[in-house]
Chains A and B, each alone.
Chain A
Amino acid sequence: MVRYFIKRLGMMLIALFLIILVTFVIMHSIPGGPFTSDRNVSKEVEEALNEKYHLNDPLPKQFFDYVGNLLHGDFGPSYRFTGKTVNDFIANGFPVSAKLGGVTILFVILASIPMGILAAIKNGKWQDMLVMAVATIGVTIPSFVIASILIYIFSFRMGALPSFGLDSWKGYVLPVITLGGYSISYLARQMRSSLLEVMGQDYIRTARAKGLSEPKIIIRHALRNAMIPVITVLGPTVANLLTGSFVVEKIFAVPGLGVHFVNSVTMRDYTTIMGVTIFYATFLLAMVFIVDVFYCLIDPRIKYD
């Protein structure tokens, strides 16, 4: 088991190294330096800037310097905002995004699992139909469309909820629904199908035969096993929430890391794009790894090969 985790960790580190390498190569393959673009800078100034940011060094040296800095937790300076570092952006933006993401995850779990259970228990009845219809809509409609419709109805027409900002709990309602919509639908479907599968197993029949009540069977026997596949998709769900937050933060004007990433892309702030990409990727890999470890710990049937 320990060997399995070490292997997974090794894979993760290789993936991380590849991510840094690919990101670095992509960002340095853009024709022209970061200072050659819009503003008219004189040759001397450009030289001085290149010298200051070590852009005249050979690429391999730049790469290893960059990796060395990353290991110290230093993502380097921003090329567009003088005096700001990428670390500042992450330190300012990530807590906001993480708070929104955390609330959303909680909401997703609390909403999708009961939905899935309800659909599985009432298999084929109208409750099942309703849950599956909602889940299909959630998977097929893009989040920005959901967000716009919600804003139009609840903010503009009814005036009940604010259309931007996270100042009070009311501000969280619409972003959380938008961000969680896809994941709720996905997890509810997963929960429904895995619970349906478990309910057909022999040990459930045994539990029924010995006269346990239906709620007891579901909670004590079926749910434990049915939860396992749901936990596996939690890792990718975190990934969905993170990239989904680009759109949600843009629409609801949340000052998080996602909207900052999109801004730095449109402003071509290369170091920020690179730094935030690597930060996101590391965070995601770590999340997937944690879920994986957790998954192995709770399900003794898993083989470690």
Chain B
Amino acid sequence: MENKWEMLESSNEEREKIWRLNRTFAGDVWFRFRRKPTAIAGFVIILLLLFFALAGPAFTDYSYSAQNLEVVNIPPRMTVYDAPDGSGYLYITQALKVVWVNRDGTLGSQLKKVREDSEHSMTIYDCNGTEVGLYYGFKPYVMVDPETRVIFSSQKIWNQSYVLGTDSLGRDILTRLMYGTRVSLLVAFVAVLVNLVIGIIFGGISGYAGGTVDAVMMRIVDIISTIPLTLYVILIMVILGTGLKSIIIALGTVYWVDMARVVRGQVLSLKNQEFVLAARTIGSSVKTILMQHLIPNAMGSILVTVTMLIPSAIFMEAFLGFLGIGLQPPLASLGTMCNDATENLRSCPHQLFIPALVICLIMFAFNFVGDGLRDALDPKLKK
């Protein structure tokens, strides 16, 4: 460039133009949501959990209710003893039965008991024609050769038949976990949907009508919010009986108060804006104005409330399941799985820790997504 002071050729409009990407509101929200790693992590976890709960059962060979009493309380990682002929392993269950384990870690059937040798505190089992002894004189119980009383060499291997082990009725924990997650998410989503409908109708009417109607309706909300609602969820469960439908009804009809407050506040602030006046001028009915104009504009904060309500619904469901007033037995939810597992916490802690971990994952994921959404929808943070 020879003359550094030569005029550039840009026109005047170009110079005045604000160089900023034009984004839609949704694009803007997504842009801000995306920049928060915790929110994205939560979002991915929710997607993975949904996939796990919905598609998972197609990949397992077990059903959530089929009991197999031969393989009760088997952990994911087992201590096994070499079989005398070396073709597999032997596993001692907590009920002092011996289960055959193949070399690849899959479980076989229980060994046949031959006789009791109480003199040497041994139970003799038949293993492919040779006799093996289960020595129960001291803990931990071991497999021995009944003649020489030499302990078979032992090792730890992963359970390949039941990846997460089995519960106290011999059901596959992985399969039950998939169904449990599905039930917990289903309860939460449907209950929150019911909350949403009631809250939108109640809050929308209250906010739009204003005046005495609003005052009376808000007093009702005030009174309801002073009542300890957990007790009423339990009472409703008592009348309706345990079951999936009762939980959804109980949770759905009780927790709409927050939603109603949020919707009312939004409607109240929006209803005096010009677009509502315009809609009224062209003769739209109240229903159209509420449903077509006001609620869609309030959707941001409603969405945040929804993502915060879902974890509390899951929390409540787990709470009820844990108290034993949740679902009916063969059906599993994360709460009832935890409840079932407390009885043998000492010997099989994995039965409790696995569903508990999933509950925590769900709670974290939804809380993070809710936080992220709230920040993303807040226009004050726009950069």
- B43 in the interface (beta carbon within 8 A): no
- A172 in the interface (beta carbon within 8 A): no
**In the assembled complex, which residues on chain A have CB atoms less than 8 Å from the CB atom of B311?**
140
Partner-binding segment picked from B99-107, B137-145, B162-170, B320-328? B320-328
Check A273–B349 contact: CB distance below 8 A: no
Instruction: Kindly state the separation between the CA atoms of A136 and B42 in the bound complex, as whole angstroms.
Output: 14
- B7 in the interface (beta carbon within 8 A): no
Check B227–A281 contact: CB distance below 8 A: yes
- B297 in the interface (beta carbon within 8 A): no
Check A12–B323 contact: CB distance below 8 A: no
- B95 in the interface (beta carbon within 8 A): no
- A284 in the interface (beta carbon within 8 A): yes
Check A145–B367 contact: CB distance below 8 A: no
Partner-binding segment picked from B25-33, B85-93, B283-291, B357-365? B357-365
Check B319–A23 contact: CB distance below 8 A: no
Given the known inter-chain contacts A15-B226, A145-B360, A265-B238, please indicate yes or no for A243 contacting B322, CB distance below 8 A: no
- B342 in the interface (beta carbon within 8 A): yes
Identify which of residues 218-248 in chain B touch chain A, using a CB-to-CB cut-off of 8 Å.
219, 222-223, 226-228, 230-232, 234-239
**In the assembled complex, which residues on chain A have CB atoms less than 8 Å from the CB atom of B360?**
140-141, 145
Given the known inter-chain contacts A15-B223, A280-B228, A288-B226, please indicate yes or no for A151 contacting B322, CB distance below 8 A: no
- A285 in the interface (beta carbon within 8 A): yes
Kindly report which residue of chain A lies nearest to residue B232, judged by CB atoms: A22
**Could you give, for residues 340-383 of chain B, a 1 whenever the CB lies within 8 Å of some chain A CB and a 0 otherwise?**
00100110010011001001100110010000000000000000
Number of interface residues of B (CB under 8 A): 36
Check A145–B227 contact: CB distance below 8 A: no
- A193 in the interface (beta carbon within 8 A): no
Check B345–A243 contact: CB distance below 8 A: no
Tell me whether chain A's interface is mostly helix, strand or loop, or mixed: helix
Check B319–A247 contact: CB distance below 8 A: yes
- A113 in the interface (beta carbon within 8 A): no
- A209 in the interface (beta carbon within 8 A): no
Given the known inter-chain contacts A148-B345, A156-B346, please indicate yes or no for A15 contacting B238, CB distance below 8 A: no
**In the assembled complex, which residues on chain B have CB atoms less than 8 Å from the CB atom of A277?**
231, 235
- B338 in the interface (beta carbon within 8 A): yes
- B318 in the interface (beta carbon within 8 A): yes
**In the assembled complex, which residues on chain B have CB atoms less than 8 Å from the CB atom of A102?**
none
Given the known inter-chain contacts A148-B338, A281-B228, please indicate yes or no for A18 contacting B238, CB distance below 8 A: no
Partner of B235, one of A26, A152, A239: A26
Chain B: minimal CB distance from A136 (Å): 8
- B315 in the interface (beta carbon within 8 A): yes
- A142 in the interface (beta carbon within 8 A): yes
Check A12–B226 contact: CB distance below 8 A: yes
Number of interface residues of A (CB under 8 A): 43
Kindly report which residue of chain B lies nearest to residue A146, judged by CB atoms: B356
Check A148–B352 contact: CB distance below 8 A: yes
Check A266–B359 contact: CB distance below 8 A: no
Kindly report which residue of chain B lies nearest to residue A264, judged by CB atoms: B238
Check A142–B345 contact: CB distance below 8 A: no
Chain B: minimal CB distance from A95 (Å): 20
Check A142–B238 contact: CB distance below 8 A: no
- A216 in the interface (beta carbon within 8 A): no
Chain B: minimal CB distance from A273 (Å): 6
Instruction: Kindly state the separation between the CA atoms of A26 and B311 in the bound complex, as whole angstroms.
Output: 27
Check A15–B227 contact: CB distance below 8 A: yes
Partner of B231, one of A141, A250, A268, A280: A280
- A30 in the interface (beta carbon within 8 A): yes
Kindly report which residue of chain A lies nearest to residue B240, judged by CB atoms: A30
- A168 in the interface (beta carbon within 8 A): no
Kindly report which residue of chain A lies nearest to residue B324, judged by CB atoms: A266
Chain B: minimal CB distance from A143 (Å): 8
Identify which of residues 225-278 in chain B touch chain A, using a CB-to-CB cut-off of 8 Å.
226-228, 230-232, 234-239
**In the assembled complex, which residues on chain B have CB atoms less than 8 Å from the CB atom of A280?**
228, 231
- A106 in the interface (beta carbon within 8 A): no
Instruction: Kindly state the separation between the CA atoms of A142 and B230 in the bound complex, as whole angstroms.
Output: 15
Instruction: Kindly state the separation between the CA atoms of A280 and B227 in the bound complex, as whole angstroms.
Output: 10
Check A140–B367 contact: CB distance below 8 A: yes
**Could you give, for residues 56-72 of chain B, a 1 whenever the CB lies within 8 Å of some chain A CB and a 0 otherwise?**
00000000000000000
**In the assembled complex, which residues on chain B have CB atoms less than 8 Å from the CB atom of A161?**
none
Instruction: Kindly state the separation between the CA atoms of A266 and B226 in the bound complex, as whole angstroms.
Output: 26
- A14 in the interface (beta carbon within 8 A): yes
Check B226–A251 contact: CB distance below 8 A: no
Chain A: minimal CB distance from B342 (Å): 6
Kindly report which residue of chain A lies nearest to residue B346, judged by CB atoms: A156
Instruction: Kindly state the separation between the CA atoms of A145 and B311 in the bound complex, as whole angstroms.
Output: 15
**In the assembled complex, which residues on chain A have CB atoms less than 8 Å from the CB atom of B315?**
142
**In the assembled complex, which residues on chain A have CB atoms less than 8 Å from the CB atom of B235?**
23, 26-27, 273, 277
Partner of B323, one of A27, A145, A242, A262: A262
Check A145–B338 contact: CB distance below 8 A: yes
Chain A: minimal CB distance from B140 (Å): 16
Instruction: Kindly state the separation between the CA atoms of A273 and B319 in the bound complex, as whole angstroms.
Output: 18
Instruction: Kindly state the separation between the CA atoms of A151 and B341 in the bound complex, as whole angstroms.
Output: 13
Kindly report which residue of chain A lies nearest to residue B342, judged by CB atoms: A148
**In the assembled complex, which residues on chain B have CB atoms less than 8 Å from the CB atom of A288?**
226
**In the assembled complex, which residues on chain A have CB atoms less than 8 Å from the CB atom of B353?**
149
- A19 in the interface (beta carbon within 8 A): yes
Kindly report which residue of chain B lies nearest to residue A246, judged by CB atoms: B323
**Could you give, for residues 117-160 of chain A, a 1 whenever the CB lies within 8 Å of some chain B CB and a 0 otherwise?**
00000000000000000001001111011001101100010000
Check B345–A152 contact: CB distance below 8 A: yes
**Could you give, for residues 117-132 of chain B, a 1 whenever the CB lies within 8 Å of some chain A CB and a 0 otherwise?**
0000000000000000
Instruction: Kindly state the separation between the CA atoms of A261 and B233 in the bound complex, as whole angstroms.
Output: 13
Interface positions of A (Cβ within 8 A of B): 11-12, 14-15, 18-19, 22-23, 26-27, 29-30, 136, 139-142, 144-145, 148-149, 151-152, 156, 239, 242-243, 246-247, 250-251, 261-262, 265-266, 268, 273, 277, 280-281, 284-285, 288
Interface positions of B (Cβ within 8 A of A): 219, 222-223, 226-228, 230-232, 234-239, 311, 315, 318-319, 322-325, 338, 342, 345-346, 349, 352-353, 356, 359-360, 363-364, 367
Extra pairs beyond A136-B367, A273-B238, A281-B227 (5, CB < 8 Å): A26-B239, A144-B319, A145-B352, A145-B360, A156-B346
CB pairs A–B below 8 angstroms (6 shown): A11-B223, A26-B238, A142-B359, A144-B342, A148-B338, A285-B226
